[in-house]
Copies of this chain bind each other. A is one copy, B any other.
Amino acid sequence: MNKSPSRLSASLGYAFRQEALLRQALTHRSYGAQHNERLEFLGDSVLNCIVARALYDAFPNLPEGTLSRMRANLVRQETLAEIAQRLKLGDYMLLGEGELKSGGFRRPSILADTLESIFGAVFLDAGFEAAQAVVLRQFEPIIASIDPNASGKDAKTRLQEWLQGRKHALPDYRLAGTRGEAHDQLFVVACHIPALGITTEGQGRSRRAAEQEAALAVLKQVGEAK
């Protein structure tokens, strides 16, 4: 663990002026007194604001309720933990002995909290615009892939409604396999659409996440999602 933070800077697209802030953002409360909980408070609020602004700009015709729902989807623990995994935050986090042994560096809640703390640290280090750039680097591709017609509905729901609208049978989801050890499993799910002869696969940290991925793959094939 604990690779040099300079590699993290590269994937964040941001070099800290005050390295101590990055270190604090990476420090779980189990490790020491200078931990990241206050930064997480700040980061959660700046993340919410930046995502709200991005959605406001991206979807000028959507009502407030839909924007709220979209934002809740974007800033929930699952999404944040996925981004944290992509950034390999687990390699840089500072955890106490107990958390280290129990695999805390893979736990979605700790990963998500650490990511928020990093956003808070950038906000302190260089202000709102700097935080905005760092957050949007991660979130813009996700926001760009949102289908405004989906109104914040998840892929499985949208697929089901799309099939029902065409009087087709519902999709068949099957667990196609798992990878990795028990505490770090990756689920692979196959989604079969009898009426169309399409089968897709999705993978994720939970069976539900893998099903969503598989459903999204079908929606893309039939041109209902970007």
Binding site for B on A (CB under 8 A): 37-38, 40-42, 44-46, 48-49, 52-53, 56, 63-64, 67-68, 123-124, 127-129
Contacts and interface: CB of A to CB of B under 8 A. Distances in A.
Given A49-B48, A128-B128, A129-B128, A56 B42 contact: yes
A44, A48, A49 interface centre (most CB from chain B within 10 Å): A49
Given A48-B49, A49-B48, A49-B49, A56 B38 contact: yes
Nearest to A60: B38
Nearest to A132: B128
A40 B52 contact: no
A104 to B, nearest CB: 18
13 contacts: A37-B63, A37-B64, A38-B64, A40-B64, A41-B68, A42-B52, A42-B56, A45-B49, A48-B48, A53-B123, A56-B124, A127-B129, A128-B129
Contacts of A129: 127-128
Contacts of A123: 53
Given A41-B52, A45-B48, 8 more contacts: A41-B67, A42-B53, A45-B52, A45-B53, A46-B49, A48-B48, A56-B124, A128-B128
